[in-house]
Amino acid sequence: MTSEEMKAKIAAGQGFIAALDQSGGSTPKALRGYGVDDSEYTGDDEMFARIHEMRSRIITSPCFSNGKVIGAILFEKTMDGHVDGKTTPQALIDRGIVPFIKIDKGLEDEGFGGFGGVQLMKPMPELDALLSRAKGLGVFGTKERSVINKADPKGIAAIVEQQFEIGRQVLAAGLVPMLEPEYSINAEGRAEGEKILKDEILRNLDSVPDGEQVMLKLSIPVEPNLYADLIAHPKVLAVVALSGGYSTEEACEKLAKNKGMIASFSRGLLQDLRKQQSDDE
């Protein structure tokens, strides 16, 4: 697939974007969920080898390349690894799946910088080098996550501005950013806060250069179709939903009420997969 073909596939939105981007902090939990006990590996190298085995098994499963999965978000080490003797991005492209790379380095503590109710992204001093390497491997886009825990207008404005600042850096490198200001599904006043979030995103879309587009990865809103204006915006390629702690069934039920929003789940995708299962299972 060429970059334009990948863009057209994402824009059409006829499928699912798999989030296979668990990083160091969340990897042990993901492995336990898959049925790999902490005692089965020692140190980070062995841990990442186990998670790569899991991801390789998912990617090479026939049902993963049946046309329903249109994209996959990778952790940096997964991007640099190999599947079926090819780089992971190329293995995905050969299956008709658009590759993305997670670029954030984790979250600051809530309140960092004087902004309450949110967790901003930590600095990314080596981002330009990562973007260049990803581009060379055929990666189409990036994903960067920050978190909103409270309907604080100042904090939400700061988190969206940071997302768009990084997004413009990604666009300059020739990749498409997937901005993820996740709204915690358990936060009080979420319906009010999501309206603030939408307004801030609409305001910041003006900073996207003409002719360029970003993607948005958002929590499924309390108010169905709240993000219709974002989905229709000419500077938005696609709006995708994270599962955010909902079960697969609950996330799908809520997502179905939001026209034009497609799924990009992580835990909601992996929750029933186990190392002990046969490939058919």
Active-site annotation, residues: 180, 217
Helix (H, G, I), strand (E, B) or coil at 250: helix
CA distance to 3, 42, 61, 265, per residue, from 28 (Å): 34, 11, 23, 18
- Calpha distance 175→56 (Å, rounded): 24
- Calpha distance 120→111 (Å, rounded): 9
Phi, psi angle pair for 141, to nearest 5°: -150, 180
- Specify the length of the chain in residues: 281
Find tokens 């039920």 and name the residue: 253
Contact 101, 130 (CB under 8 A): yes
Structure tokens at 60: 């090479």
